[in-house]
Amino acid sequence: MVQLLPALVALALLLVRPVADAAMAKYTFTVGSMQISQLCSSTSIIAVNGQLPGPSIEVNEGDDVVVKVVNNSPYNVTIHWHGVLQLMTPWADGPSMVTQCPIQPSSSYTYRFSVPGQEGTLWWHAHSSFLRATVYGAFIIRPRRGNAYPFPAPDKEVPIVLGEWWNRNVVDVESDAILAGQLPAQSDAFTVNGKTGLLYQCANETFTAVVEPSTRVLLRVVNAGLNSHLFFKLAGHNFTVVAVDAGYTSNLNTDTLVLAPGQTVDALVTTAAAPGSYYMAVLAHDTMSPLAFAASDTTTATAILQYNGTSSTNPPAMPAMPSSSDSGTANAFYFGLRGLGAPAVPAPVDVSMTIELGLGQLPCDPSQTRCNGTAAAAAMNGVSFRLPSPETSLLGAHVDGVAGVFTADFPDGPPPSGTAMSVGTKLKKLSYNSVVEIVLQNPAAVPTENHPIHLHGFNFFVLAQGMGTFAPGSVAYNLVDPVARNTIAVPGGGWAVIRFVANNPGMWFFHCHLDPHVPMGLGMVFQVDSGTTPGSTLPTPPGDWVGVCDAQHYAAAAAVAAAPVPVPAPAPVPAPILAPAPAESPLPPPRAVDHKPSPNLPQRREHTGTSNSAAGRRAKGHLACFLCSVLLFFLLRQHKA
């Protein structure tokens, strides 16, 4: 019996370790009104937990995340976890009327998902109306405990969340624009971690990061702005870009970061300058062509990087900013990014599409009571996308089999030149595990601008980018080290080629991340079918999810959310009996198993015989507890002997 003890100890420790590697991060987000003073006035905004930005979510790769969102605001709201893949949990993705019905005032909903195979900086934001102007925050995923970054470890990490600020209620700003059929009023300022900096009138607060000399600082930069592409610089210092959109990159050395709305950049800074204070500066990058159409916020927001032990009385050094129309600097940054290592690009291509991005006009809708004849509109392949009626979300219609909500006839290519723009809720169906290649073409028609296109539920490889009209067969694809992203800035009068594996069943929004362009119609939805194996089939949605937006479904979901979680009786084990594990909240099922190289998951494969899913970890935990009980029983017997 004594001879069995070393083996039992080793096995128990081996099984306990995966349980300890992953954790569950629980948060409560209370959405409500708060008063904030900015730019010489006091403004009521909607925010989370009384903070601007809202609280950062900080987890490790593989962790489970549970966020209860309590809506104490007067508006419907949802939260989107921008860049989180939501493998087999599409109901947690968040876009209103795409994957869920909105969380109504005085109601709540709990998002449950996990983050396997993702590391880096993402973010979260409201995905219902202009509320994301103030309802947003960072989402940071660090390597699993015991794993290291693939770059020199930083001595300090600083989240830098860039935003836009209006001196008005942002819901009214959007409503006025939609009723008039026009673009919304420009923002009044930019912000860094919710503060404008000292270059604005009545400014009295500046975000300041205090750092030690001769250290490495990792800046986690997020463009949470609604309408503006941004340049970001730090006086007296250069950046080494090590990741974008939570995907590691080869080192890119630059003095200017460029971020389209929705994008993130992780950049190392070495604090080797003369001790002192240095401005971090934010300026809009105007992408509208011709510039006569541009009406961007021309102000500059600032924050301060201050060396510890130095005086803050002297004015900080200011970086020389690019001109707002400097497309050369922007394209050099975007086109110069490369993925880390040599990822296996998925092939062969099963679905090939060309999606043309267009701006135009449509006759005013009867609801646009201030519209004068025609309204600003946008389209993909000539179809101006409309969300479904407020009765049923797209995923709800799919799960519950509700007919007439959408059609699955989104075109694979643009219509003939001169075709009038149409309106519809058109989807593109994709078979599970199919390889999809899309040419995104941004025409040079007047006016044109850079469109940041965001894909929910997937990362994609950027195989090629360029200016002019894409010419098949004449472009060399980067199949060696392409960068992986979830949001790509398609240049005005240019194009980009992306490729991904459709290995995540659900309804996935594909849209421009310039917020005014979404209600104008610049979007579509991919419907990815389930596979044929248990791990590739979409499971039953949680009981508190609302996909059909009527009173009956809301009431049923509320009853499920309010019901206590049953505590299972402990299984009998040899004496002494250990206390049963505490009840757990429902967790996502195991993710689908990849069969093709994909930017959605790390290139190091997981064994199909072992699982890092929540269910797999619980099974290992139960077995480990049983073996520990047996081990304790043997030790007690031996001690008694």
pLDDT tens by residue, 312-323:
668 899 999 999
- Band of residue 633 on the pLDDT scale cut at 50, 70, 90: low
**Is the model's pLDDT at 630 over the cut of 60?**
no
Report the pLDDT averaged over residues 555-566. Answer: 81
Type of residue numbered 316? P
Beta bridge partners of 137: 124
Quote the mean pLDDT of the chain: 86
- Band of residue 205 on the pLDDT scale cut at 50, 70, 90: confident
Helix (H) or strand (E) holding 499, with range, is strand 494-502
Pairwise CA distance, residues 512 & 287, whole Å: 14
Report the pLDDT averaged over residues 491-511. Answer: 96
**Is the model's pLDDT at 453 over the cut of 50?**
yes
End-to-end CA distance of the chain: 12
Go through 240-269 and write b for each residue having 16 or more CB atoms within 10 A of its CB, e for each that does not.
bbbbbbbbbbeebebebbbbbbbbbbbbbb
pLDDT tens by residue, 398-424:
999 999 999 999 999 999 988 999 999
Fold of 351-538+546-558: Immunoglobulin-like (2.60.40)
pLDDT tens by residue, 157-171:
999 999 999 999 999
**Is the model's pLDDT at 356 over the cut of 90?**
yes
Tokens 């370790």 identify what position? 17
Q: Strands 460-467 and 383-385: what pairing?
A: unpaired
Report the pLDDT averaged over residues 269-298. Answer: 82
Q: Residue 534's pLDDT is what?
A: 83
The proportion of the chain whose per-residue pLDDT surpasses 70, expressed as a percent, equals: 83
Backbone angles phi, psi at 240, to 5 degrees: -115, 105
**Is the model's pLDDT at 8 over the cut of 80?**
no
Pairwise CA distance, residues 246 & 485, whole Å: 8
**Is the model's pLDDT at 588 over the cut of 90?**
no
pLDDT tens by residue, 540-550:
999 999 999 98
Backbone angles phi, psi at 423, to 5 degrees: -125, 135
Report the pLDDT averaged over residues 612-622. Answer: 43
**Is the model's pLDDT at 569 over the cut of 60?**
no
Q: What is the DSSP string of 416-476?
A: PTTPPPEEE-BEEEE-TTEEEEEEEE---PSSB--EEEEETT--EEEEEEEES---TTSS-
Residues in contact with 232: Cβ distance below 8 Å, sequence separation at least 6, in sequence order: 160, 162, 221, 256, 257, 258, 259, 265, 280, 281, 282
**Is the model's pLDDT at 85 over the cut of 60?**
yes
**Is the model's pLDDT at 287 over the cut of 80?**
yes
- Band of residue 562 on the pLDDT scale cut at 50, 70, 90: confident
Q: Residue 447's pLDDT is what?
A: 73
Q: How is residue 407 annotated by DSSP? A: B
Helix (H) or strand (E) holding 627, with range, is helix 614-640
Q: How is residue 129 annotated by DSSP? A: G
Report the pLDDT averaged over residues 257-280. Answer: 97
Report the pLDDT averaged over residues 55-64. Answer: 97
Pairwise CA distance, residues 61 & 12, whole Å: 23
Beta bridge partners of 279: 304
The proportion of the chain whose per-residue pLDDT surpasses 90, expressed as a percent, equals: 73
Chain centre distance of CA 541 = 21
Beta bridge partners of 35: 44
**Is the model's pLDDT at 578 over the cut of 70?**
no
Tokens 């401005």 identify what position? 279
**Is the model's pLDDT at 4 over the cut of 50?**
no
pLDDT tens by residue, 510-537:
999 999 999 999 999 999 999 999 889 9
